[in-house]
């Protein structure tokens, strides 16, 4: 059996920055440090930071007055920042700059008088943060069929934005439907999808015809990891999402000669290497190869409070 590792895979710049923010905040202020929501959607990462002294909470109200709070990479509603200030919390912001760009566009479109449509998945922390950027209603849609249900006239002034971790094919089809139905709709010129989301999806597309099985290392609540698994299925590859390297079913490998492995943008590389080791202990492996779709050189600066 041959193992082919997709590239790029694993941590994006926003995730790497968010994890560093938690670690350096604990170094500077001491434990405990409170984090609103999971800093990134990966169980192994969250558990390792919890061991260092991070306490993950759902609501700002769960944080003691005067403590230190970090807002996760997914961003948060404006009301959460106001509540944190009222509680005299020391605020560190780990919101991914690409998510912040979407927040900026929401406020810009709103100032321009447009009604805003958000393409995303209900309940995801990033989506909740987007919805809380302005007081006006933002209309959330998830699939192309939702476009017909929007309560707008054909020529009404509209703008769309998207969750950063959607499938490229998924978002493109919805945007096409929006533009077809509404003549006066605008959106970001380069789109809102995260570069890492797009690159990891492209890396899977390069594996089409080369693998019989795709294993995606990532947690079940990770949007971009789920999209990688769904993309594999969409292009006809038997695909599974694995949270931990030991969680493999040997029946997946029946008749399999070439296994592709990738990981979501919030999954650490050591989990990929543990998965390779686990497979190698159960099956004879002739080689482990790496593909190369695109080289990522993106880096985001740390908050000034931690410089």
Active-site positions? 126
* Cβ-Cβ contacts under 8 Å for 12 (sequence gap 6 or more): 194, 195, 196, 265, 266, 296, 298
137's tokens: 């209603």
Contact 269, 16 (CB under 8 A): no
Q: Which candidate, 201, 208, 215, places its Cα nearest to that of 166?
A: 201
Q: Which candidate, 85, 35, 90, 37, places its Cα nearest to that of 67?
A: 90
165's tokens: 């971790």
The arrangement of strands across the sheet holding 54-57 comes to: 54-57, 33-36, 68-71, 90-93
* Cβ-Cβ contacts under 8 Å for 82 (sequence gap 6 or more): none
């Amino acid at each position: 059996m041959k193992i082919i590792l997709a590239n790029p895979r694993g941590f994006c710049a926003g995730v790497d920055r968010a994890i560093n923010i938690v670690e350096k905040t604990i170094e500077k202020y001491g434990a405990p440090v409170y984090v609103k929501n999971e800093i990134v959607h990966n169980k192994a990462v969250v558990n390792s930071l919890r061991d260092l002294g991070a306490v993950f909470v759902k609501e700002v109200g769960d944080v003691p007055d005067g403590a230190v709070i970090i807002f996760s990479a997914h961003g948060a509603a404006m009301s959460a920042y106001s509540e944190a200030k009222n509680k005299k919390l020391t605020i560190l912001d780990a919101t991914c700059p690409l998510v912040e760009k979407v927040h900026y566009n929401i406020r810009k479109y709103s100032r321009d008088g447009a009604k805003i449509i958000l393409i995303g998945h209900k309940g995801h922390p990033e989506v909740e943060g987007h919805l809380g950027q302005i007081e006006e209603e933002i209309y959330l849609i998830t699939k192309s069929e939702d476009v017909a249900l929007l309560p707008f006239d054909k020529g009404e002034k509209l703008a769309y934005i998207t969750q950063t971790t959607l499938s490229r094919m998924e978002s493109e089809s919805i945007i096409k439907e929006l533009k077809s139905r509404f003549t006066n709709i605008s959106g970001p010129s380069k789109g809102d999808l995260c570069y890492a989301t797009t690159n990891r999806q492209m890396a899977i597309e390069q594996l089409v015809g080369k693998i019989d099985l795709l294993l995606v290392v990532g947690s079940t609540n990770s949007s971009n990891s789920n999209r990688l698994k769904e993309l594999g299925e969409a292009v006809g590859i038997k695909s599974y999402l694995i949270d931990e390297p030991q969680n493999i079913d040997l029946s997946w490998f029946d008749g399999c000669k070439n296994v592709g492995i990738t990981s979501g943008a919030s999954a650490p590389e050591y989990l990929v290497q543990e998965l390779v080791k686990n497979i190698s202990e159960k099956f004879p492996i002739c080689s482990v190869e790496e593909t190369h779709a695109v080289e990522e050189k993106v880096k985001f600066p740390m908050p000034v409070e931690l410089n």
